[in-house]
Chain A
Amino acid sequence: AQTVTQSQPEMSVQEAETVTLSCTYDTSESDYYLFWYKQPPSRQMILVIRQEAYKQQNATENRFSVNFQKAAKSFSLKISDSQLGDAAMYFCAYRSLNTGNQFYFGTGTSLTVIP
């Protein structure tokens, strides 16, 4: 089965600064999706950004961007101009297009934003 690793259990960033959250994954598939989800105290899983593996261009959504390195199986999330509302747990996820569209999640990175 695919595995997703988030090696940073906790990260902190100064407000207005930039922070990068790491994610690596292991797969033998060539086509798949990658996601970053944000889980605030409400515990809802809010989709932050999505990347299709066949696309070379890195996805961006306003202040959020990814560095997708397919060969290295790396998918890091960069948050620019960090805001207090960005404080949350962030989960990296892999979705297979083959095995029943299953999701595989990392264990999360807790992001603290310092005023």
Chain B
Amino acid sequence: GAVVSQHPSRVICKSGTSVKIECRSLDFQATTMFWYRQFPKQSLMLMATSNEGSKATYEQGVEKDKFLINHASLTLSTLTVTSAHPEDSSFYICSARAGVGFGNQPQHFGDGTRLSIL
């Protein structure tokens, strides 16, 4: 079955560091990728939607300059948390699917990245 690889699975770094998280679709072309952040009580907030070759669409309240998303190829999207601070500590997860827009195609999730900023 389709696999999405998210790397790294865990990051611990100092405040002020920039951290890059990769999301790769291993056996299909991921036209659309979603980035989520986990909040207390397990809810997952959609941060942005990225379509290959175009700028990401950010959800309201998500800082574009803080969370840089690049979707340069059909198999790779990256999320860079710039100048990370302790309040950015969270669990980030990506999902990918073929096709653009919102549809009912299967989504394939990465395993997530636990980010801890000291």
Contacts and interface: CB of A to CB of B under 8 A. Distances in A.
Interface string B66-81: 0000000000000000
A58 to B, nearest CB: 18
Interface in A41-96: 41-47, 50, 89, 91, 93, 95
A102 B111 contact: yes
A26 interface: no
Contacts of B9: 99-100, 102
Interface in B27-57: 34, 36, 41-46, 49
B42 A47 contact: yes
A103 B93 contact: yes
A107 B104 CA distance: 10
A103 B102 contact: no
Contacts of A105: 95, 107-109
B27 to A, nearest CB: 13
Nearest to B9: A100
Nearest to A95: B42
A29 B102 CA distance: 35
B106 interface: yes
Given A100-B9, A100-B10, A102-B112, A45 B107 contact: no
Nearest to A10: B104
A35 interface: yes
A104 B49 contact: no
Given A102-B9, A103-B91, A107-B1, 7 more contacts: A89-B104, A100-B10, A101-B91, A104-B111, A105-B95, A107-B106, A110-B104
10 contacts: A9-B104, A9-B106, A37-B44, A45-B45, A91-B107, A102-B111, A103-B91, A103-B93, A104-B111, A107-B1
Interface of A: 1, 9-10, 33, 35, 37, 41-47, 50, 89, 91, 93, 95, 99-105, 107-108, 110
